[in-house]
Structure 1
């Protein structure tokens, strides 16, 4: 059944006058009459009584009218739903993030602002190590991620764009000599005991810290491995060892811990925003643009 013919039928049913209906439709009477005849032939029923004095609906026309209106309404609803999905107004956005990135000031601002801008979008947040986020993006289990670049570079199906550079800090017990030193360099830690992320945890900043220490001439003596950032800071407060952590972890206020910035310019880590290459999901682009604007503003 031709949707356009149904539209003509409904307009003519409203006007019950071919000339006025044709004017509303922006056409002449002849093609309107042909369209109605075609619809009648398809249905095998006369829809209108037409005389020189009046045009009225037949019983079959009355029976069709409510369904025709409902069909056209559903069509408009479908168009609107598709438009809203394509434009990013509705749908679902699955966002991956690391434990430490969630502590950065821009993160809650980003989530709150996106939810305010797109209240009909269902946002799903998943905390995962960076390497697992890459896998989840490839497997289409995530749409967009906030992560650090793993040592094994992502495959070409994932695009990683630098979002912000974050300093690495020394977390150390307040009684440690480095807590009050005039200046602290990564090389100063060569003889220290380290608290570090477990290598099997897939946490990208762990590889970056190992590479940084190697660059400064030593392999850290790891005496305790942890899974969570808060545990690392908590154990630093015991004096068990020192830890190199992203600056966001300084927001974890644990008594007895001092955070010191390194004098080395290379003691930094980068947060990236990542998504699948060529992803047509407009919600991803909106989220990424918003993140970039917040960080740059």
Structure 2
């Protein structure tokens, strides 16, 4: 269906808003650098299109009518939308980004993954800028939903409460036990039996609240391990374990870089694995830079001690690419 509003022109809206803001046609013409006659023509054309009187010209200075006030609000929205569209498409037209790619990373994976990613981008896409934010998983999910992040690396368990997120599984890694060398667990065989660990206080690396401990990604079998401490920071977990205050339970990558003389890191006797995935908001188009980071993250080769994504069963409720 044809609408008279399809004939709206941005320059007419700009001239109209200049009169609204300045309070007169003369001041609007001065601001725009146009002859007053051109401003009057633009406003007259807009009044013809809308079929309403937008200004009361019998008053000095001119007053905006009620219809003019309503049109002004719509004109600002239209021009803002056109401006956003122009800036967005400049990304593809010029090949340059207006802002960095915003990547959220769970602290458990950042120490190993970020150097690999940033080195790859520096070599292959030096014009791509990335800002990295370490967040707990619920905060990352909320930031993705609000479009405050473009991509994030997070544990695949517990799954996001936000249903609009898409996921690509990246890798699985074993669950490890961390304790000081003189700890009683040191005398036990490999892997460390989960029943033996349950006899000690436990600190867990997690992005969930203690009340959700049963949903922790380590899948602590039969809930026999009850964390006495939970932290989002691997360094905090390692420090508590090194002090002998609790046995640390964490994914393998979170224990990388551990001082061999201060801590012992061994596999936990469970078949549970810690899955890590790449998440983004469905329906939001990627800019070229976001696409490059997305592709780079999916192609990064995990360390030999973790299992690549082809071995991961992806949750059916996620959109997989």
User: With structure 2 as the length reference, what TM-score do the two structures score?
Assistant: 0.58
Corresponding residue for residue 300 of structure 2: 294
Tell me the equivalent position of 1:93. Answer: 101
Shift of 1:136: 0.3
Name the CA shift for 1:164/1:222 in 2 (closer, same or farther; >3 Å).
closer
In the other structure, the counterpart of 1:285 is 291
Which of 261, 274, 278 is equivalent to 2:267? 261
Q: TM-score, normalised by structure 1?
A: 0.62
| 2:249 match | 244
Deviation, 1:82, is: 4.2
**Equivalent of 2:237, from 203, 207, 232?**
232
User: 1:170 and 2:177 equivalent?
Assistant: yes
Is the Cα contact below 8 Å between 2:217 and 2:275 reproduced in 1? Answer: no
Structure 1 residues 279, 205: CA separation in 2 closer, same or farther (over 3 Å shift)? farther
Aligned partner of residue 95 in structure 1, secondary structure? strand
Question: Deviation at 1:224?
Answer: 3.6
Contact 2:205 2:249 in 1 (8 A): no
1:160 CA displacement: 1.5
- Indicate if the aligned counterparts of 1:151 and 1:204 stay in contact, CA closer than 8 A: no
Rate the CA distance shift 1:144–1:226 in 2: closer, same or farther, 3 A: closer
Counterpart Cα distance in 2 of 1:137 and 1:229: 23
Aligned residues: 214
Deviation at 1:161, TM superposition (A): 1.2
Q: How does 1:1-297 map onto structure 2 within 5 Å? A: 82=89, 84-85=91-92, 89-91=96-98, 92-104=100-112, 106-183=113-190, 184-197=192-205, 199-200=208-209, 207-209=216-218, 212-213=219-220, 216-254=221-259, 255-266=261-272, 268-282=273-287, 283-295=289-301
Q: Cα distance 1:220–1:265, how it changes in 2: closer, same or farther (>3 A)?
A: closer
Structure 1 residue 158: Cα displacement: 0.9
Per-residue Cα deviation, 1:170-196 (whole angstroms, up to 9, x for no partner): 011211232242221323322221123
Q: Which has the larger radius of gyration?
A: 1
RMSD: 3.2
Do the aligned partners of residues 224 and 293 (structure 1) sit closer, same or farther apart at CA in structure 2, a change above 3 Å counting?
closer
1:151, 1:208 within 8 Å by CA — same for their partners in 2?
Answer: yes
Q: 1:144 to 1:195 in 2, by over 3 A?
A: same
Contact kept, 8 Å, 1:97 with 1:145, in 2: the verdict is yes
SS at structure 1 position matched to 2:276:
strand
Structure 2: 5+ residue runs without aligned partners? 1-85, 303-307, 309-321
**Corresponding position of 2:76:** none
Distance 1:263 1:97 in 2: 28
CA shift in 2, pair 1:217/1:123, >3 Å? closer
